[in-house]
Structures are given as structure tokens and as C-alpha cells.
Amino acid sequence: MDVATEVLDLTVNGEQRRFAAPLTVAGLVSALALDLRKVAVELNREIVPRSTYGQVWLARGDSLEIVHFIGGG
Amino acid sequence: MDSLPLQDDAWRVAGRSFASRLVVGTGKYKDLATTAAAIEASGAEMVTVAVRRVNLSDPKAPMLQDYVSPSRYTYLPNTAGCFTAEDAVRTLRLAREAGGWNLVKLEVLGPAPTLYPDMPATFEAAAALIKDGFEVMVYCSDDPIAAKRLEEMGCVAIMPLGAPIGSGLGVQNPLMIQMIVEQASVPVLVDAGVGTATDAAFAMELGCDAVLVNSAIAHADDPVLMARAMKAGVEAGRLAFRAGRMPRRAAANPSSPTNGLIR
């Protein structure tokens, strides 16, 4: 099987999304066009430290939450 | 005003010093430009923010940080929308990673229509957050026993409600707020219930260290003007508290001398 055609099915913020494997958290944030300085990421309910985004590889079925700050009281 | 020691009247929480005793929320504004203008007018140095999922379908939508800079204002991430201790802890762990700091506002609410603080869940979440290294400013009921217990657990500020969230009814139980203030050795802020500038002034006259306002500014007809009014109200209330009010009397007492009257 050609590595380049492998797909990665993830749940991101509750949505089913398909990406090309292999993919790190940094790659995912970039693929989603998000500014990685302004978000926080939880992978399977564990916080992913920003300093490790480039080293954390995602696997099929992973569930992620990507959050940011919004207005609130 | 130069003769008044206003500049020396900072309050401190968790090792940080703030000249402004008005903390403002960033929610409920019609747009981010109005949010920024109102916060500027309020003179606040600390602002509360919420943590939510990014909008994957519109990743380039304007973000709060682009209008209200975290380098200028101390962001105080909250747990709004959390109804369990577990949700609150999970949310603030994400906030800490997004913002990189430990100072947070804990609020665990009960169901509508009261949205009253769920104190058992608040205690549980406060314990977990403190254990995890957070510095917790805690929204709570106007209950002096609960407030003291939160302080003893290690919360860095106690924030009793003045009235239900978003009600704008002002401080409904001044006696209990005053008791909480008098017994506390950490800052006390009235959080929730302020409706207009007199409410903020009144909370400060009770001896609160600061006041937290969101809806009263955001839902005013002119939020920027109301933000400025709240700034003035908080300053007036603080000065009045420091000045020490005259005793209340049950009878009139003339303001002008009663001797030397012409005959």
C-alpha cells in the first residue's frame, strides 16, 4: 500500500474529518488553517503541550478538541 | 485629584498588582470592535474570557485576541458553561495550555432559572484545580461559611454573587457581602448582578476589593459610555469606603450653625 494514499479518520471538535497520513498535531493545526499560537489541543482527553505538537503523531480514530479564547463573563 | 493617593491603592491577587478595581467580562457584545472599545473605556486591566471549540468551518474568523490583546490585559479564563467539577477542570487545563498561565476563574453553576453557584461541585473543582497548580478565583454563593472554606482551601480570591448572573439587580444581600469582606484575608470581588454604576459603587463601599461586570456594560444602550460609568462608580465607591462614611442618624441635624442668626 502506498503510504501517500493512506487516510486518517479523526474526530475533531465532534466532527468526522479525513486527513492524509502521516500527520502530527502541528500538521493537523496547519491543515485546518489555525494559528497554533492561539489554540490549545486535547488528544483523547489528554492535553497536548504546545512544545510537542511536532512530535505527536495521530492515529486512526483519535479524538481531538481544539479550543481558543472567546468573549465570556 | 493629584493630592489623592489613588496611584498607591492597587490591589493584589496571586502575586499580580492591579490599579483598576474593575474587572470586566468580554461576552455578550454585538461585535469584537465594541468589546475592545468598552474594555478600553472601563480602564480594566483584567478581563474574563471563555474557552470554546474553534470554528473549523471558518478558521480565519476574527479572534478575541486580535482585539483584546493578552499582552495588554490579564486574561482570566472562566469555566462558564460547565455544570460539573470534571468539566471545569478539563476546561481550565485547556485554558492554561492556550494562555500559559495559572490564574483562572472557577464557576460551576446549577441549572436555570437561578444559575446559582453549585457549591458542592465548586468545592470539588477548586480542590482539584489547586492540587493541579492553578490559582483559583472562585465564583460562589454569598455564604460566609462557604467563602471562608474556599479561602482556607487555597483559593486566591473569593467572588460572591451580588444577584443572579445577568439579572442586573444589584447587591441583594449587602449584609452577607460585608461579612465575607470582613472575615477574608484574600481579595473579595462582587461577581454577577451589577446592573448600573451605583451597584458597582455600592459593592465597593461595602469594602470589596474589586467588582466584576459584564452584562451591565455589554447590554447597555451605549456600552462604551456605561464602561466609563462603571469605572467612575468603582472609583467613587472605593474612595468612599476609604474615606469612611458618616454615622447614620435617625433624626435631622442642621448643616449650618444655629448660633449667630440675625434677630
Instruction: Tell me which residue in A34, A42, A72 faces B59 most closely, judged by beta carbons.
Output: A34
**Does an H or E element contain A46, and which?**
strand A46-48
Q: Is residue A1 scored above 80 in pLDDT?
A: no
Q: What is the pLDDT of residue A3?
A: 52
Q: Is the CB of residue A47 less than 8 Å away from at least one CB of chain B?
A: yes
Q: Which of B105, B131, B148, B231 is catalytic?
A: B105
pLDDT tens digits, residue range A5-39? 689 999 999 999 999 989 999 999 999 999 888 89
Cβ separation A73–B98 shorter than 8 A: no
The number of beta carbons lying within 10 Å of the beta carbon of residue B5 is 8
- C-alpha pair distances (Å), B251 with each of B113, B247, B248, B254, B255: 42, 12, 9, 10, 13
Q: What is the pLDDT of residue B35?
A: 95
Please determine, for the modelled complex, whether the ipTM score is greater than 0.85.
yes
- In angstroms, the separation between the Cα of residue A4 and the nearest Cα of chain B is 24
Query: B239-255: buried (b, 16+ CB within 10 Å) or exposed (e) per residue?
Result: eebeeeeeeeeeeeeee
Q: Is the CB of residue B220 less than 8 Å from the CB of residue B42?
A: no
Which residue is closest to B212 within chain A, CA to CA? A73
Q: How confident is the model at residue B5 (pLDDT cuts 50, 70, 90)?
A: low
How many other C-beta atoms are found inside a 10 Å radius of the C-beta of residue B70? 17
C-alpha cell at B253: 441635624
Q: How far is CA B69 from CA B35, B66, B205, in A?
A: 12, 6, 31
- Averaged pLDDT score across all residues of chain B: 93
Q: How far apart are CA B149 and CA B120, in angstroms?
A: 12
Closest residue in chain A to residue B36, using alpha carbons only: A71
pLDDT band at B78 (very low <50, low <70, confident <90, very high): very high
Mutation for A interface: B56, B76, B87, most A CBs within 10 A: B56
Backbone angles phi and psi of B260, in degrees to 5? 75, 15
User: Which pLDDT does position A2 carry in this prediction?
Assistant: 52
Active site residue B30: no
Looking at beta carbons, which residues of chain B come within 8 Å of A17? Answer: 56
Percent of chain B with pLDDT over 70: 97
Q: Tell which residue, B122, B101, B232, B95, has the closest CA to residue A72.
A: B95
Q: What is the pLDDT of residue A73?
A: 85
Show residues of chain A in contact with B165, CB under 8 Å. Answer: 73
Extract long-range pairs of B146-149: CB within 8 Å, 24+ residues apart.
B146/B119, B147/B180, B147/B183, B147/B184, B147/B188, B148/B183, B148/B184, B149/B123
Q: What is the mean pLDDT of residues B187-206?
A: 97
Largest CA distance in chain A: 52
Chain A residues inside the 8 Å CB shell of B70: 69
Share of chain A above pLDDT 70, in %: 93
- Tell me the count of A-B CB pairs closer than 8 A: 104
**Of residues B32, B50, B94, nearest to A47 (C-beta):** B94
Q: What is the pLDDT of residues B115-173, one digit of tens each?
A: 999 999 999 999 999 998 999 999 999 999 999 999 999 999 999 999 999 999 999 99
Strand B74-77 relative to strand B46-53, pairing: parallel
